[in-house]
Amino acid sequence: MSERGPQRATLIHHLCRSLFGISERNPRRCFCSRTDGIRVTEWTSWFNIDHPGGNGDYERLEAIRFYYRERVCARPTAMEARTTDWVPAADTGEVVHSSLEKGFWCINKEQPYGRLCSNYHVRFQCPPGTLTQHDLSNWSPWGPWGACSVTCGGGRRLRRRRCNRSSNKVQCAGRPVEMQKCGKVQCPGNGSPCQRLCPEGRPSKDCSRCVCEGHMLYGEVLSLTGVPVVGARVTLAHKPKLIRTRTDNKGRFRLPGICSSDETPLLADLKNVSLSGNTEKPYVVKHPEDKVRYEGQRVTFCCKATGTPIPNKYYWYHNGTLLDRNVYKYEEDLTLRNLKPEQTGEYHCKASSDTGSIKSSRAFLTVLPKGTPACISTPEKYLIKLPEDCVQPGTTSKFYNAGRCPHSKCAGSLDFDLRCRDGTAFCCGVKHMETQAIDCGSYSLPIRTVTECGCQKCMEPKILVRGRVVAADNGEPLRFGHIYLGKERVGTTGYQGSFTLQVSPDTERLVVNFVDSLQKFIDTVKVFVFDKKGGAVYHDVKVMRKQQPVDINSTELNTIYLGEIEGEDPIGQIVIPPNSFHKSTGEVYEGMVKASVTFLDPRNITTAAATPGDLNFVDNEGEMLPLRTYGMFSVDFRDETNREVLGTGAVQVMLDTQHVKMPEHIPKMKLWSLNPDTGIWEEESDFDHTQATDGGNGRSKREERTFLIGNMEIRERRLFNLDVPEDRRCYVKVRAYMSEKFLPTEQLEGVVINLINLEPKPGYTSNPRAWGRFDSVITGPNGACLPAFCDAQRPDAYTAYVTALMGGEELEAAPSTPKMNPNIIGVSQPYLDKIDYQRSDHDDPALKKTAFKINLAKPNPNNFDETNGPIYPYQSLIACENAPADANHFRFFRVEKDKYEYNVVPFQESDLTSWTGDYLSWWPNPQEFRACYIKVKINGPTEVMVRSRNFGGTHPATRGQLYGIRDIRSTRDMYSPNTSAACLEFKCSGMLYDQDIVDRSLIAVIPQGNCRRVGINSLLQEYLTKHPPLLQNNETHVFKMLAPVDPLGHNYGIYTVTDQNPRIAKEIAIGRCFDGTSDGFSREMKSDSGLALTFSCPERTITRESLFQRLQTNPGQTLAQMARDMRQRKNKAKTNFK
């Protein structure tokens, strides 16, 4: 590394000069900082939060962090400033100031010759991780041998060594202590004196140790979490089978005769004592990844698991068959050499330790025979919807086949083929495109079609998960809550509870823990689904409010009831014996305790969305399996000052069996706790039967009841769960569509589908009226398959409540009234009647239409009508995922109507991997998406369709060529009669995909119908005048402009938002446009705020008689006129033909 240091420093220095345009003679103007041993990282997006009016242009870091907290790191290492015309700050000749702590600013009064500051935008470089060596560990030399334990008769002596390591993450292989036998000389006969030398006291009768009369050794035994261990057997290390004493109810013990000057090793045998805090089950932190190779090449799959103890055994499987360790010589990593086509298939690993096993996700290996092309060159069929007014002659089709390449992995040229993750990812992508002209009858529409696919480097999209965290009871946001991934804090929620997380591409399971620093809500662990194609997934996170603490006496027996439904019996209770509370040091706490126990009652359907984790556990074989909950509870015990958190020793959890109606669930019931790092439920204890008299919680008389009793320690802030494993499982097929037409070509990806498993109807021998699971799955190109409990004996044994969410927007379900239509719902008869599909407004039209409820009737394999979905047996997941579009399924659709988007270069905003680099691409940068909208007011009695036609304006490669079309219907203002407004998207100006020259897009805004322009925002008109060329707007039915390069804001009627995801950028911009502000958000149109253009669109009055009226009033003259018109058209057609 030391030899490369100067080269790296020079590289950074040259990079700085090229970015800022800095010369060698003016190094002080370079904002880059040289840091040895670091690698150059990506820059942030550009920020422009101020305009040069008033005192100047102030791009202060503090203000940028206020608006874009997630996108600026804590300590930037470099900064770049340019004008919005992309001129480097050093080339403007203006006096500017910069600081990595404060940001960038330019003051008008400091400029020479009375000039004003330019409009600047800035970006920052975040500090990369310092290059460090790999963590190392090695043993120190062995120390000297200690004294022999005896002088005769056979003893032992020890020597020790120390593990020197650079990090706690690594361990030394081997043992730190080595034993050797000694003192082998036979002892003298009976009656001879012992040869042991005791510095204090006398030798014991067996000559094995020294004994000091009157000495007493006091000690205590604690678990790793500081809990006193009761009943532990204490022995001397050299005689482990001889019990000397046991610990008392406070974990303390006494041993007489132990010399104070002697080092006496002791053993504490903790048999029959719960030690769940000492161990942790395995959890996979590195999963194998999909690979593609040619025959004869090599490949490596990697697997890594953590836990306590660390897993030390790994097993690899190919298509479910265990691979021979002796043949493949594998441990954590599996390397296959000289690959054969028959080795294609799924590979996964299983990691094991003394505490359990865990299986990794499955990776697919594709081995292509030699000579096989890496990608199929012929593109797939991909239909693009055409504008409503585009009717192709000779056909009624509204679609055109633009072609696309499957974004599947392919075998590219790797510099090294045995990495866990290939250094360069190769995918099938667009190799060649052609421009075609679509004949729309009255006009021609250009389109770029894919003609050839090839293997090339993948476009790696940024994976985002965002959402909002609010209280489950009243929607209060979790403000400034801490966000943890594992034990690492990665962010903070905003003032409104919003958050955004960037997900690493190799993440398989995203476990996020939300912690309220104000202690108003319980810690909530969520397992988020996310879109690996880069679509931004939105999650509406519900958290439970903590119960108000009550005072209990630590020296008394305390019972806390579990149940939140008023007027209903509690599901269970927590029984805490006297003197069970202890401090973090293990010291027994005596005094009043502030006890807060929050219970998630499954009888309350509103708590289902607040379910932490994903209700899964790992069995002994490492498989992840589902649980069905009977309730969860979170405990928080604190001292009487409400500051120090207290733990408890063994406490009892009692579950009232009257709430378990399924007899087979009782022997399988267990007590679980949620691991906040993995999101997996871990077993705490089994339950035992007992009879108890219960008269608490407001009961008028004492009753004899049967309880299930489990034991546990409350050691850390975990959520506990009363669950049973459930094996009656199915999958439910759901698809989401752009509109209620439910066209297969208009399916939506990136929609989060939620399914809540509900209890059966009263009278069936199953669970109480409650929810049992909460699952989420994200839709792909072929919909989504959601796991659910089902029953084959009775259709209504289990029911499900299903919703769909897309970027914070609730989608509508297919209607079930006035009658169930199989063609609309998507399920054929007679299975539809058996499922009993009902939308949420089925019985009350005033309710929302955003959910449906069904019976989860397990399909009968002998009934042909039930073998085609929408419910599939659990073992038929592949059939569910690959089901054709015409197979039975449930449907959701977007409510947004009268909206159309056309791109000359096709692009799916839900799949960022479909981006193609082209001069006519609507989004020129796949890492940064800039959405631009203009607000148009319509004065008139009806809503009007408004269109933007977007052309290249100033760039030589695109001038006059179409980028795309946007149509949107104006939205009625609820408070202003005869007024509506439209937020119309247009193509932003800026650099094209080659990042070379700025193009000012040519925009035409055209309302459809009898409309004329009556107003232009004066500030917008002034801006366009000062930034020529200015287009003439002589025609009143249209408005044309060269789009501004600057993100102007609501004062101009222009709304611009930049984000790493196009959906997010558009959603934020539309919300601001509706609100008419640059920092607000609204779903209600405010037609008088933040306008750019105003059109008057009165209803067209009929001033001419119709043909039928003229034939009645003057038939002769009318027929003569018709004949003349026909002759004129015939002559005109002949002239055109010639």
> Tens digit of pLDDT for each residue in 612-650?
767 778 877 778 777 777 778 888 888 888 778 888 877
Residue 711 CA, chain-centre distance (Å), reads 35
Distances (CA, A) of 755 to 548, 731, 775, 938: 31, 11, 5, 42
Per-residue pLDDT at 31 exceeds 50 = no
Backbone angles phi, psi at 9, to 5 degrees: -65, -40
Which of the given ranges, 136-140, 697-701, 726-730, has the highest pLDDT on average? 136-140
Per-residue pLDDT at 9 exceeds 50 = no
Measured between alpha carbons, how far is 485 from 607 in angstroms, rounded to an integer? Answer: 24
- Those residues whose C-beta lies under 8 Å from the C-beta of residue 1036, and which sit 6 or more positions away, are 1012, 1013
Residue from 168, 160, 164 nearest 137 by CA: 164
Measured between alpha carbons, how far is 655 from 668 in angstroms, rounded to an integer? Answer: 13
Measured between alpha carbons, how far is 833 from 1115 in angstroms, rounded to an integer? Answer: 60
* Look-up of token digits 């040259």: 14
Mean pLDDT (whole number) for 272-288:
68
Pairing of strands 945-951, 962-969: antiparallel
Q: Provide the whole-model pTM.
A: 0.64
Residue from 867, 873, 903, 901 nearest 887 by CA: 867
Helix (H, G, I), strand (E, B) or coil at 349: strand
Measured between alpha carbons, how far is 520 from 470 in angstroms, rounded to an integer? Answer: 12
Per-residue pLDDT at 748 exceeds 50 = yes
Least confident range from 407-416, 721-730, 824-833, 966-975: namely 721-730
Residue 87 CA, chain-centre distance (Å), reads 38
Backbone angles phi, psi at 1069, to 5 degrees: -65, -40
Helix (H, G, I), strand (E, B) or coil at 1136: helix
Residue from 137, 92, 97 nearest 116 by CA: 92
Task: Categorize the per-residue pLDDT at 169 as very low, low, confident or very high, splitting at 50, 70 and 90.
Answer: low
- Those residues whose C-beta lies under 8 Å from the C-beta of residue 510, and which sit 6 or more positions away, are 465, 485, 501, 503, 527, 528, 529, 530
- Cβ–Cβ < 8 Å for 786, 755: yes
Residues in a beta bridge with 302: 333
More confident residue, 896 or 151: 151
Pick the CATH number of 280-368 from 3.40.50.720, 3.40.50.11750, 2.60.40.10, 3.10.180.10: 2.60.40.10
Measured between alpha carbons, how far is 504 from 486 in angstroms, rounded to an integer? Answer: 14
Q: What confidence score (pLDDT) does residue 701 get?
A: 44
- Those residues whose C-beta lies under 8 Å from the C-beta of residue 844, and which sit 6 or more positions away, are none
Task: Categorize the per-residue pLDDT at 74 as very low, low, confident or very high, splitting at 50, 70 and 90.
Answer: confident
Which CATH architecture is the domain 550-725 placed in?
Answer: Sandwich (2.60)
- Cβ–Cβ < 8 Å for 202, 262: no
Which residue pairs, CB below 8 angstroms and at least 24 apart, start in 323-326?
A: none
Which H/E stretch holds residue 125? strand 120-125
> Tens digit of pLDDT for each residue in 1007-1027?
988 889 999 999 999 999 988
**Residue ranges of E strands in 369-485:** 383-385, 399-401, 426-439, 444-457, 463-471, 482-485
- Cβ–Cβ < 8 Å for 453, 377: yes
Per-residue pLDDT at 1132 exceeds 60 = no
Task: Categorize the per-residue pLDDT at 872 as very low, low, confident or very high, splitting at 50, 70 and 90.
Answer: very high
- Those residues whose C-beta lies under 8 Å from the C-beta of residue 465, and which sit 6 or more positions away, are 500, 501, 503, 510, 528, 530, 536, 537, 539
Per-residue pLDDT at 732 exceeds 90 = yes
Residues in a beta bridge with 708: 655, 689
Average predicted confidence (pLDDT) for the chain: 79
- Those residues whose C-beta lies under 8 Å from the C-beta of residue 569, and which sit 6 or more positions away, are 563, 656, 658, 659, 697
Per-residue pLDDT at 1035 exceeds 70 = yes
Q: What confidence score (pLDDT) does residue 716 get?
A: 56
**Residue ranges of E strands in 16-70:** 56-60
Task: Categorize the per-residue pLDDT at 1108 as very low, low, confident or very high, splitting at 50, 70 and 90.
Answer: low
Q: What confidence score (pLDDT) does residue 73 get?
A: 83
Q: What confidence score (pLDDT) does residue 38 get?
A: 41
> Tens digit of pLDDT for each residue in 357-370?
889 989 999 999 98
**Local structure of residue 1079 (DSSP, 8 states):** S
Mean pLDDT (whole number) for 957-963:
91
- Cβ–Cβ < 8 Å for 649, 227: yes
Per-residue pLDDT at 271 exceeds 70 = no
Per-residue pLDDT at 300 exceeds 70 = yes
Per-residue pLDDT at 766 exceeds 70 = no
Q: What confidence score (pLDDT) does residue 342 get?
A: 92
Task: Categorize the per-residue pLDDT at 266 as very low, low, confident or very high, splitting at 50, 70 and 90.
Answer: low
Least confident range from 678-692, 806-820, 880-894, 923-937: namely 678-692
Per-residue pLDDT at 756 exceeds 90 = no
Q: What confidence score (pLDDT) does residue 25 get?
A: 33
Per-residue pLDDT at 804 exceeds 60 = yes
> Tens digit of pLDDT for each residue in 548-567?
888 888 888 888 888 767 77
> Tens digit of pLDDT for each residue in 813-827?
999 888 888 888 989
- Cβ–Cβ < 8 Å for 924, 441: no
Per-residue pLDDT at 1137 exceeds 60 = no
Task: Categorize the per-residue pLDDT at 725 as very low, low, confident or very high, splitting at 50, 70 and 90.
Answer: low
Measured between alpha carbons, how far is 357 from 322 in angstroms, rounded to an integer? Answer: 15
